[in-house]
Amino acid sequence: MTPAGPILATVIGDPCGIGPEVLVKALAESPPRARVLAIGSAQAVKAAASSMRGGGPRVRAIARARDASYAPGILEVLDPGTLDAKHIRPGVVSADCGRAVVEWRALAAEIVHRGEADAIVQAPIHSGAIQAALGTGPIPSLAGGAPTHLMLVAGRLRIVHLTDHITLREMLDHVRAVELLALLRLVHDKLAQWGLRSPVIAVAGLNPHCQGPEERDEIAPAIRSAVESGIDARGPIAPDAVFRLAARGDYDCVVAHYHDQGHIAVKTANFGEGCAIVLGEPHLRVSVAHGTGFDIAGRGVASAQGMTVALHTATSLAAGRGFSGPG
């Protein structure tokens, strides 16, 4: 009997890391109520499955998404066949693998765009491998040039970042009322789409005790404008308190201004049970919130907890059950 539920186009991540391992482990330990189509190197997935105690799922390589049967006990891998297995060496940065990951991500987006899958799930990728393949610069976006923002989810704690991989000096140029207001609208709309009909969004302060020109001239005005447009936005709230309050349920989401402000809170609160969602892309994409684990790749000791959370979160959101629905 073919399983029901949304179809998840699941990129296996960098095959030199723990991505294939945590994927097969997650599917064995806590399978989501979804149909999982892996995208990447079938040989890497077969190696990960064969190293599992009990053998793991039977892996079947396919050339087209529509060829997937989603039969029980079989993990189908859409493999374009462009990555030679000789370039897959656990724990080693490979430009060939980085180039393949970019291709697999684009293929996943194409599959969802064609209606052959409902969401993208992504195992950990390695920015160094991608840069070795493509040169320095950001990882190619799936948003077609539109601005994107990272949402980290760890239990009840949800944090969206105004900026991400830029320096603190550069970040200050983005703490502007117009940018913050646009983000508040995006967050409100996405949370409402995912079942939180009247979400309460807290905005972290930037300076100690929220006493700085940014709070006065940019952050507070953006919050006032959001409230006037019907968004329940609160703040600015001192960042030494706002994340704790959100974790206990006072707020549905917190807007942080820079990478570490949000990441430190999530990784301190619940490192192993987090996932990441990219806002601004045309399709739902959920990824693990940890790295490729090159130091333990190929040893069979990686925890699949983060991948499990990503799969279940993507399943629940794609199925219209919001954040709380079982995966």
User: What average pLDDT does range 51-79 have in this prediction?
Assistant: 90
**Model-level pTM?**
0.92
Residue 36 has pLDDT above 70, yes or no: yes
Query: Is-cis flag, bond preceding 236, omega within 30?
Result: yes
CA distance 261 to 286: 21
Please give the pLDDT value at position 61.
95
Q: How many CB atoms lie within 10 A of CB 297?
A: 22
Starting at the edge strand found earlier in the chain, the sheet holding 7-11 runs 58-62, 74-78, 35-39, 7-11, 119-122, 285-288, 274-279, 149-154, 157-161, 253-256, 200-204, 232-237
Asked whether the predicted pLDDT for residue 4 surpasses 90, the reply is no
What domains appear along the chain, each with residue ranges and CATH number? 7-143+281-318 (3.40.718.10), 149-266 (3.40.718.10)
Instruction: Give the mean pLDDT of 117-142.
Output: 88
Confidence check: pLDDT of 207 > 50:
yes
Instruction: Give the model's pLDDT for residue 174.
Output: 96
Q: Give per-residue pLDDT as tens, 229-256.
A: 999 999 999 999 999 999 999 999 999 9
Q: Please state the rounded mean pLDDT for residues 174-187.
A: 97
Predicted confidence (pLDDT) at residue 118 exceeds the cutoff of 50: yes
Residue 311 to residues 31, 73, 78, 307: CA-CA distances in angstroms? 8, 17, 18, 6
For residue 66, is pLDDT > 60?
Answer: yes
Q: Provide the pLDDT for residue 1.
A: 40
Residue 159 has pLDDT above 90, yes or no: yes
